[in-house]
Amino acid sequence: MYTRIEYLNICVLLIIGFANCVSSYHVDIIDNGPIVKGANITFKATVYYGDKFASGTFMYSWKDRAVPTHTREFQSKNPIDEWTVLYNATIYPQGPYVVQVTVCKYFLVYCAEIGSNRVEFYINETLNGDILLIQKNKTRPDLFVSNAEPVIHNVSLKQTDADYIKQAPSVLTYWFVDCVYYGFRKDFEFPFNYTQAEKEHLIEALVVADFSPPPPPPTTTVPTTTTTTTTIKPNTTTTSTTTPKPTTTTKPTNSVTTPTTTTATPTNSTKVKRDVDSQSKIMVNVNGTLQPFKGNFPFVCNGTQVATDSHKTYGYFFKRVKVRAPVAKVNVTGNNWLQHGDLLTLNVKCHGSRNFKYCVQYQRGLYNVTGNETCYIYQELDKCEFTIQRYFSDSMEHTVVIIIENEVGKVVYPVTVTVYKVKKQAQLSVIVVPVAFSLVAVVLIVFGVAYYLQNRSRFVVEVADFNFGQNYSDMEYKTFKERLRDAIANAFFTRAPSPGSSEVPVWPPGRKYGSMTS
């Protein structure tokens, strides 16, 4: 048996464990607001246990702070619960509202609160949305548009507001460009061409959803007639006269409200008059000439506040656009046939609006561009003029992909470059110089031989054959000096008489020569 203190301890432990278990739950809540007056808004609550979806049976208790208040209780085993509320335009004015959800979980038969949360949302007077700028079936991510393509202006409404105005019998969109009225359309699109680059324009759209009840059928008046009804009864004759009423079932209080039934206080009347006067800024194009527009519109052109109709829901949207010229007329010059070892040099020029940026990709072989090529790093330019230089170490075809962009356009320009090798040949000087010198040497040799043969007799030396036939004992060996001395002595001191012309000269034995041979 447990004592009383033990029971208390067990209860305390159970309570602590239960508190720790409950503290692990939390509730998140989101909504799809803001909404326009009269539209539905959906709240979504999600129960988590730690970082996972909770499990079990839950009771969701919803309540808002509107007057009158909306409440809801719903039991579910799903950790996600959604609550959709309609805020009637005639009851709930524009402004901030708060909705709260409290979630409890069933532990056996007891539903313990595990979390709660609240969210603030807004109910607006006008429709919620934005103007989208569409060119080439793509939505422009910024305020820049191209002057080379028409722009489709599209009013994109929040889904809650779009679902709400679908109930209206008439929905019209009025379009204005720089306070010039271009008429209305039954859809939410407006095509327009901006032809001048470097201009800015103000686009305004006014959506009007008319919830006015349809007019009653026309009434007809039947002439007054007198009818006599005779009832045959015993001893009774009845005659009655009736005057028919118009055959309409519409009560006078339910007649269609026209614009003249809208009343305003003197202060509002003064404001409306002032705003109507400001409508003179709205122009209309009549046969190519701008003229003041005689009508008036709420909200448009400097935020005018013309009196609105309680049976109509309005949406006012505006956007400023900047017109730019896209990248065009790309011109690439340079030699794209390169001998191996040469440096590629390409000069690129193009036209378009400023704020250019470019990058270059190099692809081996032939490459077919897709138009979706991009680069991680771009070079920015004030003027579309730059030079590309590249050295290719191999000999093959390459594709230089030039990507040029500005704020409204993009051009992908491919250039095929062919690198080729040339078989090396000896230079002309290496061949001509040796051949020329060889010919000169041959010519010199030939002329030298010819000259020698022609003038050989000038250089012939007669050689005496000193064959005296006999050997003289007085002929002894003498040196050169001795022979020279003897020759001089014989020439100057011992001169024999010269023989006559008719006599045969008699030479001494030492002076006699033998036959001369050449």
In a 10 Å sphere around its CB, with 0-12 CB exposed, 13-18 middle and 19+ buried, how is residue 315 labelled?
A: buried
User: What is the pTM for the complete model shown?
Assistant: 0.65
Tell me, rounded to whole angstroms, the distance of Cα 333 from its chain centroid. Answer: 25
Give the pLDDT confidence score for residue 220 in this predicted structure. 55
In angstroms, the CA 174 to CA 295 distance is 12
Q: How many CB atoms lie within 10 A of CB 421?
A: 10
Give the pLDDT confidence score for residue 434 in this predicted structure. 84
Which residues sit opposite 172 in a β-bridge?
208
Q: 129-213+281-324 belongs to which CATH class?
A: mainly beta
Three-state DSSP at 8 gives helix
Give the pLDDT confidence score for residue 278 in this predicted structure. 43
Common-topology check for domains 23-124 and 129-213+281-324? yes
Q: Which two tokens stand for residue 171?
A: 């929905």
HEC profile of 444-488: HHHHHHHHHHHCHHHHCCCECCCCCCCCCCCCCCCCHHHHHHHHH
Give the pLDDT confidence score for residue 490 in this predicted structure. 78
Tens digits of residue pLDDT in 259-297: 333 323 333 333 333 344 444 589 998 888 999 988 888
Architecture of domain 328-420: Sandwich (2.60)
Instruction: Tell me which CATH code domain 23-124 carries.
Output: 2.60.40.1940
Give the pLDDT confidence score for residue 379 in this predicted structure. 94
Q: Which two tokens stand for residue 240?
A: 């009655």
Q: How far is CA 180 from CA 143, 282, 297, in A?
A: 20, 6, 12
Which residues sit opposite 10 in a β-bridge?
none
Q: Which two tokens stand for residue 357?
A: 């940026």
Residue reference for tokens 């109930």: 167
Domain boundaries, the chain: 23-124, 129-213+281-324, 328-420
In angstroms, the CA 88 to CA 82 distance is 19
Going along 125-179, which residue ranges are E strands?
Answer: 129-135, 138-139, 144-146, 151-157, 170-177
Give the pLDDT confidence score for residue 451 in this predicted structure. 80
The candidate with the shortest Cα–Cα distance to 133, out of 283, 322, 282, is 322
Give the pLDDT confidence score for residue 81 in this predicted structure. 96
Low-confidence ranges of the chain (pLDDT < 50): 13, 17-18, 20, 222-279, 472, 501-504, 507, 510-518
Do residues 41 and 33 make contact, with C-beta atoms less than 8 angstroms apart? Answer: yes
Tens digits of residue pLDDT in 367-404: 999 989 999 999 999 999 999 999 998 888 999 999 99
In angstroms, the CA 351 to CA 331 distance is 9
Q: What is the largest CA-CA distance in the chain?
A: 230
